[in-house]
Amino acid sequence: MSFAPLTAYLDSLHDEGVPGLEILVCRNQETVYAHLAGERSPGVPLSSPALYRFYSMTKPLTMTLTMQQIERGHLRLQDPVSAYLPAYAHLTVRDGEEVREARGVLTVEHLMAMQGGLDYDTQASEIQKVVQLHGGNASTMEVADALAARPLHFDPGCGFRYSLCHDVLGAVLEAATGKTLSQLARENIFDPLEVEDLTFHPTPAQRASLASQYLWTEEGRAVEVENEMEPLFSMPRYESGGAGLMGSIAGYMRFADALSCGGVAENGVHILSPESIAEMARNRQSGQAMDDFRKIGHKRGYGYGLGVRTLLDPASSRSPLGEFGWDGAAGAYVLMDPSNRITIVYAQHVLNMNQAYYVFHPRIRDLVYEALL
């Protein structure tokens, strides 16, 4: 087992424009590889682990919280969203130049599988109106209710569109349980797994530990930018089920590795059944929805289950059929492999860097498997 090629590749990414990076690899709940390289901030070496904004790597966490509630009988995949958020009882669809009534019922499963017909326009008038109404600090529930007035892009279940579906799902969880997303995460994942450095609401000390954030420019370089989320996700009362998590890769690893190991964490705590994990990782896309998913472009060989990519074609990867995970807007990446009990958590902090998804992540994945199998 040699990780030398992986180390050499990771160290080479500084020349590709990545200021700093960290990675952990676990197998059978033991750390088999750890590496950090580059800078924590301009001129400051990354000599010890930092914290990162995980952005869309929040989604597997939200899926896990949802599957927990399904296991406990508080939700069902086929439940209408309107049973929890009444504003979703009468939805519309934009059909060419016309707006018509939606056909079919929007369900919890549609939200999880990104088949709800929503979009990711955080500047939409419906959102901006409710944000202004609440003085720039609208809640998760208030934003979700406002989104119900926005016409869908297709009828529920009739396509795939990456969107605010998981933020609306966070509101569903809140309505179903009477607890906010951060409370559910703390009670059901963070505390049981003894994780202190995953959070939706960073303390001043945690903010100070954030690695500097960068933006990849059209000129092909990383420029340091403000270490904040976009305005919608920065509101104190808004907890984004799709993008609100920050923390360390070690903390994220404790969560992700439990999903790679039958839902049982290193400390013996059960967070999810193997059956629920398999349900998350089962591809939900076919027909038009699969065509839509393939347009993402950098998920060759994958389908999309409940909030996660899932490998359908092992010929396109060194990893096995059923490996699943996701990534984040600043280049973070997670892979969970229940068949081999392998987990990879990688983080960098560069927004708009498409080569992270098309080049870095697949290469890191394959180099890990070349070392382990």
Half-sphere exposure of 264 (CA within 13 A, CB side): 7
pLDDT in tens, 177-230: 999 999 999 999 999 999 999 999 999 999 999 999 999 999 999 999 999 888
pLDDT tens string 260-314: 999 999 999 999 999 999 999 999 999 999 999 999 888 999 999 999 999 999 8
Which pLDDT does position 36 carry in this prediction?
A: 97
Determine the residue type at 344. I
Query: Residue 297's pLDDT is what?
Result: 81
| Cα distance between residue 275 and residue 132, in whole Å | 43
pTM over 0.95: yes
Q: How much is the pLDDT for 74?
A: 96
Q: Reduced to 3 states, what is the DSSP secondary structure of residue 325? A: strand
Full set of structural domains in the chain with CATH: 4-70+180-372 (3.40.710.10), 76-177 (no CATH)
Which residues of the chain are under the pLDDT cut of 70?
none
Helix then strand then coil, % of the chain, to nearest 5: 35, 20, 45
